[in-house]
Amino acid sequence: MAAASPPTRPPRSSRTATQDRRARSERLLALFTWHRDAPLVARSLGLSLDELDAQLDELKLRRKAYRLVRGSEFDLPIARAVPGARSGPPVRRRARSAKTEAAPAQETAPASGPPATEIAPPETPSARTEPAPDDAVPEQAAELLALLAEVGPRRGPLAARLGRPGHPLPERVLLARFRAAGLERELGQRERDLLRGLFARHRGGARAVAAELGLEPDDLRRLVRERGLAAEIETLRERFRKEARNRRWPREQIEQLLRRREWLEDLGIAAEREREVLSRARPAWERSAGSAARLRRELRLSESDARALQALLTRDG
């Protein structure tokens, strides 16, 4: 009777491939356990998400890996010592109480070897002193709403009140604070209402609005665009330009040019209105033979306005 042949071992290359596959699987699971986020795992490996998913499918780990991402700490694998690896120094952790932990630690300590590690018990929800995130959000929202009611939707005062003395919050941090409290829409609507009211009060004058808000003109333009009001504000400014062009001649138009020139420059029609006024006033100036008193009587102006108009006509002539 022939002797049974010994079982054949798999080729060495096959064993190497199996070990490499196991090492890759353990590394991927370790990264998912640590990061708990697939994009961070892909970034740490220098891969795209599609390439990471392809590796997980190849190793048949996709469901297990993403279960670690979605699960809680109790779903994580138990840490075990690696066979043959040297252990590090013992870790001392804070005990619950020096008196209550001294006796149990002495009873459970081994007769020889390094001292046993003291592990603090897990914290129970009732022992927490900080409010839970779900409780903190309504509280923060109430504080921000009260601050909005007090100072209004003005980013400068809001940043100063929410920051440290002399160190207001950066604008991106301020907006993130309102976003985290669920008040991004509320802040945006209040800012839109404020901008509409200020542009109406200052008759379309952007410089006056920027000065009242404590902003630079470029920052005001950016805020108007950010809140989607660029077309609406430009329509409002165009209405005030039309009103400026339709003022009655001669007194209202002359007084507007002389007394509200900065406003006209803000609207972009100062040069246009000056040409119009000087062309219509020149015949009266020529009839007055350079006399400010006669120019005043003919155009029904105040003495100061007549002298200012005379200076403009002289400079232009």
Residue 136 or 138, more confident: 138
**What integer pLDDT is reported at residue 218 of this predicted model?**
95
DSSP per-residue codes, 141-170: HHHHHHHHHHH-S-HHHHHHHHSBTTBPPP
Q: Which two tokens stand for residue 34?
A: 């640590």
d(CA 309, CA 158): 46
Range with the largest mean pLDDT of 62-71, 129-138, 190-199: 190-199
Phi, psi at 284, each rounded to 5°: -65, -35
Going by pLDDT thresholds of 50, 70 and 90, the confidence category of residue 105 is very low
155, 144, 156, 147: which is closest to 181 by C-alpha? 144
Please give the pLDDT value at position 73.
45
* Cα–Cα separations (whole angstroms), residue 73 to 15, 131, 220: 34, 21, 48
What tens digit of pLDDT does each residue of 278-292 get? 999 999 999 998 888
Task: Tell me what pLDDT residue 111 has.
Answer: 45
Asked if the model's pLDDT at residue 124 lies above 50, the reply is: no
| pLDDT of 90 higher than 70 | no
Cα 128 to Cα 132: distance, rounded to the nearest angstrom: 9
Q: Are 42 and 6 in contact (CB under 8 A)?
A: no
Higher pLDDT pick, 68 / 107 = 68
- Mind listing the pLDDT tens digit for each residue in 202-227? 999 999 999 999 999 999 999 999 99
- Among 20-34, 62-76, 209-223, the range scoring the smallest mean pLDDT is 62-76
Instruction: Work out the average pLDDT over 79-100.
Output: 55
Average pLDDT, the chain: 81
Tell which residue, 7, 10, 31, has the closest CA to residue 19: 10
| Residue 22 confidence (pLDDT) | 87
Q: Backbone phi, then psi, for 215, in 5-degree steps?
A: -115, 155
pLDDT of residue 94: 57
Alpha carbon separation from 128 to 131, 149, 238 (Å, rounded): 8, 33, 60
Q: Which residue would you say has higher pLDDT here, 130 or 251?
A: 251
- Which of 204, 288, 293 minimizes the C-alpha distance to 241? 204
Tokens of 123: 């914290």
Residue whose token pair is 């003005």:
154
Q: Quick one: average pLDDT of 159-178?
A: 93
End-to-end CA distance of the chain: 134
Tokens read off for 29: 């699971």
Please state the pTM of the whole predicted model.
0.57
Cβ neighbours, 10 Å, residue 302: 13
State the amino acid at position 278 in one-letter form.
Answer: L
- Say how far apart CA 205 and CA 243 lie, in whole Å: 14
